[in-house]
Amino acid sequence: MKKIELEIVALSHSITQTHSYAVVLGEANGLRRLPIVIGGFEAQAIAVALEKMQPSRPLTHDLMKNFMTAFNLDLHEIIISDLQEGIFYSKLLCSSENDTVEIDSRTSDALALAVRFGCPIYTYEHILDSAGILMEDSGTKKKKTTSNIEEEPNVNEDLRAMSLEDLTTLLTQVLENEDYIRAIAIRDEINSRRKED
C-alpha cells in the first residue's frame, strides 16, 4: 500500500469539554485533514515538543527517546496503520545496527515520539477516506498552529436531527473556526449516514 505523508497542523481542545483534545494531521501535499482525539497528557507531551520547551524533568516520551538513543535505536517513521471502531492504530518503525522492527503503539504516543525524533508520519488512503476531512482550497496557505484553543459555541445541536445538507454546511463552518472536536462528531455522523445509504 502507498503511504501518504502527514504533518501536525494543529492541537486543539474544548474549554467546555475539559478532557477533550484533538491533534490534527494534514496531508503533506494535499487538502485533507485527519483529526484524532487524544488524552490531555499526550496533548501536553506533543505541545511541549512542538514548542521546543525544556521541562525541568523528562516527560515519559522524553525518557523513551533518551532510552532509545542510549541503546542506539532510531525511530525512522510512524505509520497510522489501521482504524477500527473509531480507534486509530499505529506502528513505530525502529532500527538498530542489526535489525529493523515494527512496534505497536497508541497513535498519541507515536505522534509524541515522532515530534521528538523529527521523523515522518504516514498513513494509508483508506484511513484518510474513512476518517479524513477535506478542506477547501482558499488559495492561501494557512499558518500552522501548535496550540489552537477554541471554545465551542453554546449551540448544542442534535446532529441526528439535522439533514445531510445541513451537516455538510455545519462541518464547513466548524472547520473554518478550526473547531476540530465538533468536526470529528459531525464527520462521524455524515459517514454513518453514507454507510446506511
Question: Does residue 188 form part of some domain?
Answer: no
Question: Does residue 160 form part of some domain?
Answer: no
User: pLDDT value at position 178?
Assistant: 65
Torsion angles phi and psi, residue 129, rounded to 5: -65, -40
Question: Does residue 170 form part of some domain?
Answer: no
Percent of the chain past pLDDT 90, that is, above it, reads: 47
For residue range 114-146, what is the model confidence (pLDDT) as tens digits? 999 999 999 999 999 999 998 876 554 443 433
Domain count, the chain: 1
CB 148, CB 45: distance < 8 Å: no
Question: Does residue 158 form part of some domain?
Answer: no
User: pLDDT value at position 175?
Assistant: 75
Question: Does residue 181 form part of some domain?
Answer: no
Helices 180-196 and 164-176: angle between axes, nearest 10 degrees: 160
CATH of the domain at 59: 3.10.690.10
For residue range 93-122, what is the model confidence (pLDDT) as tens digits? 999 999 999 999 999 999 999 999 999 999
Residues spanned by the domain of 104: 3-152
Question: Does residue 182 form part of some domain?
Answer: no
Question: Does residue 94 form part of some domain?
Answer: yes
